[in-house]
Amino acid sequence: MANVTVIGAQWGDEGKGKIVDWLASRADAVVRFQGGHNAGHTLVVGDQTYKLSLLPSGIVTGTLSIIGNGVVLDPWHLKAEIEKLEGQGVAITTENFAVADNCPLILPLHRDLDALREAAAGAGKIGTTGRGIGPAYEDKVGRRAIRVCDLAHLDDLGPQLDRLCAHHDALRAGFGQPPVDRAALVAELKAIAPYVLQFAAPVWKRLNTVKKAGARILFEGAQGVLLDVDHGTYPFVTSSNTVSGTAASGSGLGPGATGFVLGIVKAYTTRVGSGPFPTELEDETGQRLGERGHEFGTVTGRKRRCGWFDAVLVRQSCAISGVTGIALTKLDVLDGFEKVKICTGYRLHGKVLDYFPAHAADQASVEPIYEEMEGWAGTTAGARSWADLPAQAIKYISRVQELIECPVALVSTSPEREDTILVRDPFTD
């Protein structure tokens, strides 16, 4: 039985929550391996809707759910999200949930810095969620982070606080802000420490035990490949690596454990916040896609920008992240369009490109080259087999596969868990 790594192959918001939830019911463990509570997953199970931003999607099904060391953790948000789910009847205990003890913490000073920078950036804003994700990752690589394991040794925190505050006090002074209130920070950490520490564990050890037992592990990525700090539309990216390889380093398991890489791909393209978007539609068609797809960010509530499917970007994401097969989501949003378009290449200064260039100026200047196809009048919503799909919808899926050079493993036709067409089982193929 294979493990499965799920990543977004566009700019996030591809519908990973539903797919991970669908897979989690067949997994023995689900692991978040990067990002923080800037991720947003919406799960619809029966008449219940769950909105997650930090907890792994498997928690709703009672599957062992783990936050790996590659995640940056806001302990106060963790408590609030757990309490909210418990209010919806979800049982969360030390038996089915664990947090890596070497996981870096997001502190109030990180949120402060995030907001100060974005407010001062003017036209240079990158569209951060303001939740402190980037500054927390900076402190991690700067070797001044406070980690989950430090919560058990707060009386010995002095030298770490010296390093941390020396950095942040200088930055805050530049923004005309007072130094970090160390006493208040320590008091807040002491108040939250017992709650977090009950879940803290060397999760690499627990995962290796699960692996040796031959159990199925599902690695759950956040955001999307086009937001990867190395491979995305820099600087309009997140602060972590979102590609599949991060599942190994962000969980404590080796690269051989990542298994089948499932790339989640929306049948059109969306993006939240600033940054290049070659196929963006700022017209009635774009508005129609947004309204039909209910395109608002799970975490921020921001309206998503919408456009036609960009096969160039998805092909690039699949290659970079070693995608084995894709899950095509929200196909039903295209129902009723007389014509649908797919971007097959770009023009840049008179040249035709079959890839997305690295420089921001070139990314902003490319013009999409479209291939137009007939739409379909029938509905794909709720389809659970190929026989339920209009012929032209099947042609669209086939053309997507050809252009991105990667096969379709699943097709999702509604937010409901069971409205899924299984072409290739990621756990057994």
Cα(175)–Cα(161) distance, rounded to whole angstroms?
Answer: 20
Quickly list DSSP for 44-84: EETTEEEEESSS-GGGGGT-EEEE-TTB-B-HHHHHHHHHH
The 3-state DSSP class for residue 326 equals strand
Active-site residue, 349 included: no
Cα(425)–Cα(340) distance, rounded to whole angstroms?
Answer: 29
User: Which tokens belong to 220?
Assistant: 């759950």
User: What dihedral angle (degrees, nearest 10) is formed by the CA atoms of 97, 102, 108, 112?
Assistant: -120
Compute φ and ψ for 32, nearest 5 degrees.
Answer: -85, 130
The 3-state DSSP class for residue 296 equals strand
Can you list the alpha helix ranges (DSSP code H) found in 67-157? 75-87, 108-121, 133-141
Helix axes 391-404, 311-321, angle to 10 degrees: 50
Choose the catalytic residue: 21, 28, 41, 310. 41
The candidate with the shortest Cα–Cα distance to 95, out of 138, 42, 147, 59, is 59
Quickly list DSSP for 265-283: EESSEEE-SSS--TTB--S
First to last CA, the chain: 8
Active-site residue, 13 included: yes
Which residues are tagged catalytic?
13, 41
